[in-house]
Structure 1
Amino acid sequence: MSDSLSVSLAATLQAARVDRNLSINALAERSGVSRAMISKIERGEAQPTAVLLGRLSGALGLTLSELVARAEQADGTVELLRRAEDQPLWTDPATGYRRRAVSPAAGGPLELVEVELPPGASVSYPADAYIFKYQQLWILAGQLRFHEGDQVHELATGDCLQLGPPSPTTFHNPSGTPCRYLVALVKEPFEMRRHGGFSRD
């Protein structure tokens, strides 16, 4: 992640927290991330990992790619994002996991995200990091071992998986080559999530 994006991401997190009238203590309680770590991230003294960003963005009612897009100052009125110039790309400093926001911000509730997981890498998220009503994984290349709660899915190129209700997950690449996959999701309204609602309708 570039230094400029690190600074912008820190400011974006702080602005989203303030917009929701959340103290650092309140965000720490919601996200499970320590107050000290949130303070360091907001001051630009620590680069958050994918796991930390997933927890923080979920607690703020945002997806991870929305958070990165805001940090990149993506225009919410744009309907076309060119891959080379416009699609925000974020790299996890801990694992090398790369997440590209494919969908324009004006695309409505549907969001498409392209992910590249390096050989042997794993990324885990708690259930409360998810703010999605529906989510599918489509493997574009390679192999993915996906832990969804107690279930383990062995996925290969071309496989597509419909996820169930939010549960702890782990994305693991068991192979010696990168795994690329597309995440398609329909976002759940933040207010519904705050009141514990989850619909499969």
Structure 2
Amino acid sequence: MSNIVDPLVDRIAARVRAERERRRWTLAQLADTSGVSQAMISRIERGESSPTAVVLGKLSAAFQLSVASLLALAEGAQDEAPGAPGVRRRADAAEWRDPATGYRRRQITGPGFPAEIAEISLPAGARVPYPAAAFAFVRQVVWVLDGRLTFHDGDTVYELHPGDTIELGEPAERVFANTTDNACRYAVVLARDVRP
């Protein structure tokens, strides 16, 4: 285990706790709603454990937020002035890494932009499933930039190559998989349909 302190883990912890408290849910209520154990939620909220992409998918679904929204809020994008023009340097961008798969995510847009855009790097052999509820209330496009993405949309499987896009329809269980020996990089463009 690494001794490096990741400030993003602390911000994710604070965001999960704040979202739970905003709804006046107990740990047990969030566990029941999300399917994530109380013990794991408690460790996440105390900053003792970095959640995996799968766990974040379950928590975001329980909160009726997209994973992108939950992470963007945790990354501190809310601290920027909405609508303020500016350059976002790659070196300054917070990057979240899934401890289970090595999946990396970087928020591209700030909170004032009408769509959320994130850049994802999916390592060779990685597979990240999300429950259908993680896609409620949002419209989403996945755009493959490099490599190949095997995308499961419910029971349908798509092989996506550089330049390919897929616009997601009604919420379904989805899996982002990289079945190759090389990393896959893609962008997720998300717009909210309805505010919960």
Output the TM-score relative to the length of structure 1: 0.86
Q: 2:45 aligns with which of 42, 46, 69?
A: 42
- CA RMSD, Structure 1 to Structure 2 (Å): 1.8
Give how far 1:24 is off: 1.3
Shift of 1:5: 1.9
| Structure 1 residue 10, shift from structure 2 partner | 1.0
Aligned to 1:91: 97
Give the match's secondary structure for 1:171: strand
Equivalent residues in 2 for 1:158-173 (5 A)? 158-173=163-178
Contact preservation (8 Å) 2:8, 2:94: no
Q: Secondary structure at the match of 2:102?
A: coil
Quick check: 1:5 aligned with 2:11? no
Shift of 1:83: 3.4
Q: Counterparts of 1:81 and 1:16 in 2: how far apart (Å)?
A: 29
Q: What CA deviation, in whole Å up to 9, does each residue of 1:70-114 have, x standing for no partner?
A: 333222424445132443311101101011111111113x21111
2:62 counterpart of 1:62: no
Question: Residue type of the partner of 2:18?
Answer: A
Q: Which residue of 2 aligns with 1:77?
A: 81
User: Which 5+ residue runs of structure 1 have no aligned equivalent?
Assistant: 192-201
* SS of equivalent to 1:105: coil
Tell me, in whole angstroms, the C-alpha distance in 1 between the residues paired with 2:89 and 2:151: 27
Rounded Cα–Cα distance in structure 2 between residues aligned with 1:90 and 1:8: 11
Deviates more, 1:83-92 or 1:49-58: 83-92
Whether contact under 8 Å (2:61, 2:131) holds in the other structure is: no
Q: Which moved more, 1:171-180 or 1:86-95?
A: 86-95
In the alignment, which residue of structure 2 is the partner of 1:156? 161
Give, in angstroms, the shift of residue 55 of structure 1: 1.2
Matched, 1:120 2:128: no
Instruction: For 1:53 and 1:45, locate their aligned partners in 2 and report how far apart those are by CA, in whole Å.
Output: 15
Q: What letter is aligned with 1:98?
A: R
Cα distance in 2 for partners of 1:129, 1:71 equals: 17
CA contact (8 A) 1:68 1:88 kept: no
May I ask how many residue pairs the two structures share in their alignment? 190
- By how many angstroms is 1:16 displaced? 1.5
- One-letter amino acid of the structure 2 residue matched with residue 150 of structure 1: D
Deviations 1:43-85 (A, max 9, x none): 2222210110111122223322332333332224244451324
CA contact (8 A) 2:64 2:133 kept: no
TM-score of the superposed pair, with normalisation by structure 2: 0.88
Identity over the aligned pairs, expressed in percent? 46
